[in-house]
A and B are shown apart, each in its own frame.
Chain A
Amino acid sequence: MISPKEVPPNSRVLTMSIDDEPVDFRDGETIYDIANRCRREVPSLCYDPRLEPFGACRLCVVDVEGIKNPVASCTTKATDGMVVRTKTKTIEKYRKTLLEMVASENRNLDINQLSGYSSQELSELLDQYSTDNKRFIGKTSGKSNKDDKNPFILRDYDNCISCYRCVRVCAEQEGDHAINIINRGFQTQISTEFGNDLRDSECTFCGQCVQTCPTGALSDKKALRAKESPGEIKKTRSVCPYCGVGCAVDILTKETKVVGIQPAMDGPANEGALCIKGQYAFDFVSHPDRLKKPMIRQDDGSFRESEWEEALQLAANGFQEVADDYGRHSVYGIASGRAPHEAAYTMQKFIRSNFGTNYIDNCSRS
């Protein structure tokens, strides 16, 4: 199966009609991708552009002239001359019913935004279709696994809608195959091997399952620590400093505190992926043990708190001495992956222009 990004750029250009407008597309594209490009806003819950189209939620069904039943636009490739309607009255009614059915198995629709990047998808769609979880009352499907003792991922499957985005992102993007789908039908659950805790599975805690979950069934335990903290959530785009890949991240802050990290889905290097460090290792930023003042090592090895002026002068003298005695290449700078990018930049500038050497490195290069 060809996923949209694999459509060869030189493939044939064909024409179809979407909602009575002629549209050009390339051979191999799905109806969903073409419709999206034309801003048709076809709803979906199981679609993640990074994953193989799956066709589970059926919300993206559209009318295709000449075909009796509506087709799932995410799994159907467009063909030349195809006539598609994305929002007929019937289709919209099906979508609303489907959403109500999904909501009926989902106990909580009020999901904190800190849960994850996609966590509002279901509740937003329900709002868009002006409906809720009051119809089709019956058994709920998920079995919560809040007791999983890992410190990162909250597994509250009471909110799971079995779209399997978590399972698919784990297999297709991360290659961990840590979780899968057990049982059948309404009894379906997301599980690790033998139902173990995530810590005893192949999980590497990259957090991708959390970020693609459309209901908050999987959520970011660390970010949720700040759910009661005052202030609005602010997102600041940055690049993860931990290694050389250059994953784009959105740093979540409340007032002056970093409360969480989310991968940028449009990050060219990572397309929504992160690793355990980039995703969860940010506590040092406001850790109480963090140095707030320069410390000067004494002759007996202990440290003494000092003021900047004194510390900088001492450091400058030391550097100068070494450079004078042994030449410009006697200095070698290594910046920390935990330092901000601005500091890393200043550091290389300092080494290069000050000493005239390229002996500058960063721990994230390896």
Chain B
Amino acid sequence: MDNEKQFQSLSNEAIIEQWSDKDAPLLPVLHAFHDRDDYLSDDTIKFISKALKIPVAELYATITFYHHFSREEKGKKNPRVCTGNVCCLNGGNELLEELKKDGATAMPCAGRCDEMVPVIIGDDVFVGKNSKTLKNIPTPIPQPNPGKYEECIFRHIRNENRCHIEGYEKTHGYVALKSILQKSPSEVIETITESKLAGRGGAGFPTGLKWNSVASAPGNPKTIVCNADEGEPGCFKDRTIMDHDPHALIEGMIIAAYATGSTRGFIYLRYEYPQTENILQTAIDEAIKNNYLGKNILNNKDFNFDLQIRRGAGAYICGEEGSLLNSLEGKHPFPRNKPPFPVTHGFEDLPTVVNNVETLASVAPVIRKGAEWYQSLGIGDLPGTKVISLSGDIQKPGNYEVPFGLPLKTLLNDWAGGAIEGQTIRAVTMAGLSGGFLSGEDLNVSLDEPSIRSKGSFLGAGGIIVFDDRRNMFEVAHQAMQFFAHESCGKCFPCRIGTQRLTERLDPNKIEIDLETWTNEVNEIGEVMKATSACGLGMAAPNVTESLQKYFHDTINTYVKK
């Protein structure tokens, strides 16, 4: 914690000086003040406004956008308790009540759904069921794959000391990077393209195609941004990868930099993962020391790559790439209008790769073992693997790397032990919450987009939350929509108003309209959100109400009177 002490002694001017000549300085500057003072005072905001030449009203407004920047004295030290969908099942609300005497407030899903309820106090994350059992423990290591399928991402993650460079190098670490230096950037892109690796953050855009667009786009310097703002409720895969295999991500980013000719890199890490930041920073320092990062990498003239972490401050929408880029640049984190896309107009309007953690962590194994090998990991014609974060009412929650095409029931029952004893599965969510629900009676799908999309849902980032027959799906849907309303950025009308109106129509205590009106309104709002929202949040949120109506008519009828 030497770092922390250093912060506390820094003067205003020293903090600014530390960051003002670096790229994307606003977030680290805000964090430095927030860490030093435990809140952001009016005077601090005025000082930063002047120093970074940002209008004070704009800076003030941008700060209010983020959930975790505190504006009250000592606010950073107040506990934030996760009351996400999964934590609600595990006593999150009760724990919040218990800690309210210490100034606790609620926070949306903090990405530890495979454990007990997480509580953030300062820069520490504790998990527990009640205030007495709270403890600060490392992220669980994923269980060995019981299906005997070959893994890509988790292949070496269980090895001892894997999170440090010695451990990483013991099992082929940085071999892929060394091997590509004999090849041309276009050959590297060709391998990635052939492997059919695609965006694992949920959008599934072909990675090779994205890299190629950046490589051929005019404008320099180019940037690699790793999207580590894992905000989707029920998703906690990226945290596991970064905590236990940080060098895999870093190596993937360096290879991406080589392939695209990029010289700057950022890992945009969500606020809720403070321990991950320490692990990543240690790994980056190790990589710099070994000349994998920095100038003239591995003595290759003109191969320079500077990699920095930027910590978010609590905003789901910053996982949307346009918002993320605006946030990095210190702007109001609204999504950007597309086109143009980040590949030509990304960070500072220059060509930028934005890739998810899992995508980048797959790169080194793909390079090392070849495109054909990676393709062969999926079942049938489906190429590659996907990490699924499984949580909720299931025997063995956790992260599982599955081959694309694995039947969902195999994952649930054979790999994860099935429902809690004496219960049956009533529903599972897809894509965290964004894909809505599949009912327990409609689980004959395989884990790949075509199969899940045929049910009107999608796999997305791979978060699956299980609810058994003790759960009231109307309430679950209400909580899900509350999350979307809380996280809607407020830019486009259909999402800003739609998420609010749908939340009201799912509030069991506040429904004053009859079933026919309810159905018409919910569906009309849903349709307009899906068709006209400016980004994925507004397009996905109505999946909740759509699937609720598809599968759980009876529960709707108990709350909405005919």
- Interface set of A (CB-CB < 8 Å, partner B): 1, 45, 53-59, 61, 69-70, 72, 75-77, 90, 94, 97-98, 101-102, 104-105, 135-139, 141, 161-162, 171, 177-188, 191-194, 201-202
B487 and A185 form a contact (CB under 8 A): yes
Q: Whose C-beta in chain A lies nearest to the C-beta of B498? A: A101
Q: Whose C-beta in chain A lies nearest to the C-beta of B71? A: A194
Stretch in B60-68, B149-157, B364-372 with 4+ CB within 8 Å of A: B60-68
A53 and B55 form a contact (CB under 8 A): no
B56 and A193 form a contact (CB under 8 A): yes
Q: A180-B58, A182-B60 are in contact. Are A94 and B487 (CB under 8 A)?
A: no
A53 and B293 CA atoms in complex are apart in Å by 40
A199 and B523 CA atoms in complex are apart in Å by 45
A194 and B59 CA atoms in complex are apart in Å by 10
Query: Which of B45, B490, B504 is close to A138, meaning CB atoms less than 8 Å apart?
Result: B504
CB-CB nearest 8 A-B residue pairs: A177-B55, A180-B61, A185-B488, A188-B490, A75-B337, A186-B500, A58-B532, A182-B64
Q: A75-B337, A94-B528 are in contact. Are A185 and B521 (CB under 8 A)?
A: no
For residue B445, which residues in chain A have a CB less than 8 angstroms away from its CB? none
A57 and B493 form a contact (CB under 8 A): yes
Query: Which of A69, A139, A187, A188 is close to B504, meaning CB atoms less than 8 Å apart?
Result: A139
A161 and B501 CA atoms in complex are apart in Å by 15
Which residues of B from 492 to 541 have beta carbons under 8 Å from A? 492-501, 504, 513, 521, 524-525, 527-528, 530-534, 539
Q: Whose C-beta in chain B lies nearest to the C-beta of A192? A: B57
CB distance from A48 to the nearest CB of B (A): 16
Which residues of B from 22 to 58 have beta carbons under 8 Å from A? 42, 45, 55-58
A70 and B532 form a contact (CB under 8 A): yes
Q: A72-B534, A75-B337, A186-B500 are in contact. Are A101 and B525 (CB under 8 A)?
A: yes
Q: Does B485 lie at the interface of the complex (its beta carbon under 8 Å from any beta carbon of A)?
A: yes
Q: Does B158 lie at the interface of the complex (its beta carbon under 8 Å from any beta carbon of A)?
A: no
B65 and A184 form a contact (CB under 8 A): yes
10 A-B interface contacts by CB (under 8 A): A76-B339, A77-B339, A97-B528, A101-B493, A105-B497, A138-B504, A162-B490, A181-B61, A181-B490, A182-B64
Q: Does B110 lie at the interface of the complex (its beta carbon under 8 Å from any beta carbon of A)?
A: no
Q: Whose C-beta in chain A lies nearest to the C-beta of B533? A: A58
Q: Whose C-beta in chain A lies nearest to the C-beta of B507? A: A138
Q: Does B466 lie at the interface of the complex (its beta carbon under 8 Å from any beta carbon of A)?
A: no
Query: Which of B42, B487, B534 is close to A55, meaning CB atoms less than 8 Å apart?
Result: B534
Q: A162-B490, A180-B60, A181-B61 are in contact. Are A98 and B521 (CB under 8 A)?
A: no
Q: Whose C-beta in chain B lies nearest to the C-beta of A57? A: B493
A210 and B339 CA atoms in complex are apart in Å by 31
Q: Does B77 lie at the interface of the complex (its beta carbon under 8 Å from any beta carbon of A)?
A: no
Query: Which of B315, B337, B490, B532 is close to A186, meaning CB atoms less than 8 Å apart?
Result: B490
Q: Whose C-beta in chain A lies nearest to the C-beta of B510? A: A138
B490 and A184 form a contact (CB under 8 A): yes
CB distance from B316 to the nearest CB of A (A): 9
Question: SS class of chain B's interface: helix, strand, loop or mixed?
Answer: helix
For residue A56, which residues in chain B have a CB less than 8 angstroms away from its CB? 491-493, 534
Q: Whose C-beta in chain A lies nearest to the C-beta of B520? A: A135
For residue B455, which residues in chain A have a CB less than 8 angstroms away from its CB? none
CB distance from B341 to the nearest CB of A (A): 13
For residue A57, which residues in chain B have a CB less than 8 angstroms away from its CB? 492-493
B532 and A61 form a contact (CB under 8 A): yes
A70 and B492 CA atoms in complex are apart in Å by 14
A72 and B489 CA atoms in complex are apart in Å by 18
For residue B527, which residues in chain A have a CB less than 8 angstroms away from its CB? 94, 97
A209 and B504 CA atoms in complex are apart in Å by 32
B489 and A186 form a contact (CB under 8 A): no
Query: Which of B58, B486, B494, B530 is close to A101, meaning CB atoms less than 8 Å apart?
Result: B494
- Known: A180-B60, A184-B487, A186-B485; 17 extra A-B contacts, CB below 8 A, are A1-B337, A55-B492, A57-B493, A72-B532, A94-B531, A101-B493, A101-B497, A136-B521, A139-B500, A162-B496, A177-B57, A182-B60, A184-B489, A185-B490, A185-B499, A192-B57, A202-B55
CB distance from B520 to the nearest CB of A (A): 9
CB distance from B494 to the nearest CB of A (A): 6
A49 and B392 CA atoms in complex are apart in Å by 50
Q: Does B332 lie at the interface of the complex (its beta carbon under 8 Å from any beta carbon of A)?
A: yes
For residue B499, which residues in chain A have a CB less than 8 angstroms away from its CB? 185-186
Query: Which of B61, B500, B513 is close to A185, meaning CB atoms less than 8 Å apart?
Result: B500
A97 and B525 CA atoms in complex are apart in Å by 7
For residue B491, which residues in chain A have a CB less than 8 angstroms away from its CB? 55-56
Query: Which of A54, A61, A104, A201 is close to B497, meaning CB atoms less than 8 Å apart?
Result: A104
CB distance from B63 to the nearest CB of A (A): 9
B58 and A186 form a contact (CB under 8 A): no
For residue A97, which residues in chain B have a CB less than 8 angstroms away from its CB? 524-525, 527-528
B487 and A178 form a contact (CB under 8 A): no
For residue A94, which residues in chain B have a CB less than 8 angstroms away from its CB? 527-528, 531-532
For residue B494, which residues in chain A have a CB less than 8 angstroms away from its CB? 58, 98, 101
Interface size on B, as a range, is 35 or more
CB distance from B505 to the nearest CB of A (A): 8
For residue B495, which residues in chain A have a CB less than 8 angstroms away from its CB? 185
A69 and B513 CA atoms in complex are apart in Å by 30
A351 and B58 CA atoms in complex are apart in Å by 51
- Contact indicator per residue, chain B 357-393, by CB within 8 Å of chain A (1) or not (0): 0000000000000000000000000000000000000
B496 and A185 form a contact (CB under 8 A): yes
CB distance from B500 to the nearest CB of A (A): 4
CB distance from B69 to the nearest CB of A (A): 12
Identify which of A161, A194, A201 gathers the most chain B CB atoms within 10 Å of its CB. A194
A56 and B492 CA atoms in complex are apart in Å by 4
B488 and A136 form a contact (CB under 8 A): no
Q: A55-B337, A61-B532, A136-B521 are in contact. Are A179 and B490 (CB under 8 A)?
A: no
CB distance from B226 to the nearest CB of A (A): 24
Query: Which of A101, A141, A191 is close to B57, meaning CB atoms less than 8 Å apart?
Result: A191
Q: Whose C-beta in chain A lies nearest to the C-beta of B332? A: A181
Q: A180-B60, A181-B332 are in contact. Are A194 and B489 (CB under 8 A)?
A: no
For residue B496, which residues in chain A have a CB less than 8 angstroms away from its CB? 162, 185-186, 188
B61 and A191 form a contact (CB under 8 A): yes
A183 and B495 CA atoms in complex are apart in Å by 15
CB distance from A172 to the nearest CB of B (A): 12
CB distance from B513 to the nearest CB of A (A): 8
Which residues of B from 452 to 500 have beta carbons under 8 Å from A? 485-500
For residue A55, which residues in chain B have a CB less than 8 angstroms away from its CB? 337, 491-492, 534
For residue B339, which residues in chain A have a CB less than 8 angstroms away from its CB? 76-77
Q: Whose C-beta in chain A lies nearest to the C-beta of B537? A: A185
CB distance from B231 to the nearest CB of A (A): 13
A138 and B534 form a contact (CB under 8 A): no
A183 and B521 form a contact (CB under 8 A): no
CB distance from A154 to the nearest CB of B (A): 19
A178 and B57 CA atoms in complex are apart in Å by 6
For residue A98, which residues in chain B have a CB less than 8 angstroms away from its CB? 493-494, 528, 532
For residue B64, which residues in chain A have a CB less than 8 angstroms away from its CB? 182-183
For residue A101, which residues in chain B have a CB less than 8 angstroms away from its CB? 493-494, 497-498, 501, 525, 528
A182 and B493 CA atoms in complex are apart in Å by 16
A141 and B485 CA atoms in complex are apart in Å by 13
A335 and B489 CA atoms in complex are apart in Å by 53
B534 and A58 form a contact (CB under 8 A): yes
Identify which of B490, B500, B521 gathers the most chain A CB atoms within 10 Å of its CB. B490
A180 and B492 form a contact (CB under 8 A): no
CB distance from B535 to the nearest CB of A (A): 10
Q: Whose C-beta in chain B lies nearest to the C-beta of A178? A: B57
A141 and B493 CA atoms in complex are apart in Å by 12
For residue B42, which residues in chain A have a CB less than 8 angstroms away from its CB? 194
For residue B528, which residues in chain A have a CB less than 8 angstroms away from its CB? 94, 97-98, 101
For residue A201, which residues in chain B have a CB less than 8 angstroms away from its CB? 57
B493 and A102 form a contact (CB under 8 A): yes
A69 and B488 form a contact (CB under 8 A): no
For residue A179, which residues in chain B have a CB less than 8 angstroms away from its CB? 57
